[in-house]
Amino acid sequence: MDKVAHPPLSTAGNRYARRTIWLLAIVAVRHHAAYRTYFDQRTSAGKNKMHTLVAIGRKLLCTIFAILRTGRPYDSAYRHSTALSVSAVA
């Protein structure tokens, strides 16, 4: 059985939306250092490049959704903290 060099994209969902997310992930890996680092870490750990791009696409979608939900502009320095501060509890 021949191994497929480039597995096809999933056929579930809107193909235009899937393709757009796919292209966003590729551009993010090329031009954004944090996504490139994430891509390199996963691929060096033995993960499939296609699956890594899908994971990056999901991260991008979560970021886009958060921007739309909160109405705040994107801040690359923002890091979500799961720990509650003392002032938030009081």
pLDDT in tens, 76-87: 777 755 444 444
Q: What is the mean pLDDT of residues 3-9?
A: 60
pLDDT of residue 6: 60
pLDDT band at 12 (very low <50, low <70, confident <90, very high): confident
Please tell me the pTM assigned to this model: 0.71
SS3 per residue for 20-52 = HHHHHHHHHHHHCHHHHHHHHHHHHCCCCHHHH
d(CA 33, CA 18): 23
